[in-house]
Amino acid sequence: MPQAIAKPTTWSAFKLTLKRDLLIAFKRKNDIVNPFMFFVIVISLFPLAISPDGDKLAEIAAGVIWIAVLLSAMLSMDSLFRADFEDGSLEMLLLSPHPLFFLVLAKNIAHWLVSGLPVVIASPLLAYMLKLPSESYVTLMLTLLGWYAHSESDWIDCSRVNGGIGE
C-alpha cells in the first residue's frame, strides 16, 4: 500500500519562502550593499555640502536621515520581486495552494531583514555624526521602525487585493 504524501503546511511554506529569499539576498550582495552604502554616503556627504556647523546640522539632521532612508528604500524595492519575476517563481508563488498573504509576508520579512534592519541599526550612529539632539534618538528609531513596518505591510495589502488570499 503506497504511503500518503504529507501536504506541506502553510507554516512550512512560510519558512521555506523566508529561507529562500534570505539565501537569494545573500548570494546577491550588491542588492544588500548598494542601498545601505547609498544611505551612508548621502548622510556622510551632507555636512560637506551644507556646513559642518553643529547647530545647523542639528536642525536638519532628522530630515536628512529620513530623506536618505526613503531614497535608499527606493533603491532596495526594485529587488523585492525582481528575481522571482525573472526566474518565473513569482508565477509559482501565485499558483501555490498556500495563502498568498503568508508567502508575501515571508518575502517582506526577508526584505526587511536584509535592507531595512541595517539602515535602522546604523541610523543612530549617523544621527550622532549629524549632531541630532539626544532626546530625538528614540523618536527617530521608533518612526523608522514604524515606517519600515508600514511600507512592508503595503505589499501584503496588495497581495490581498491582487490575488486573493489563496483560497
pTM of the model: 0.76
- Summarised one tens digit per residue, pLDDT across range 4-58 is 666 778 888 899 989 998 998 888 888 788 889 999 999 998 888 887 888 888 8
Q: How do the residues of the chain divide into helix, strand and coil, expressed in percent and rounded to 5?
A: 85, 0, 15
DSSP-derived 3-state class of residue 88: coil
- The one-letter code for the residue type at 13 is A
Phi, psi of 139 (to 5 degrees): -60, -45
Residue 144 CB contacts under 8 Å (≥ 6 apart), including other chains: 69, 119, 120, 123
Query: Can you give the residue ranges of every domain in the chain?
Result: 10-163
- Summarised one tens digit per residue, pLDDT across range 91-124 is 888 888 888 888 888 988 988 888 888 888 999 9
Give me the pLDDT at residue 19, please.
Answer: 94
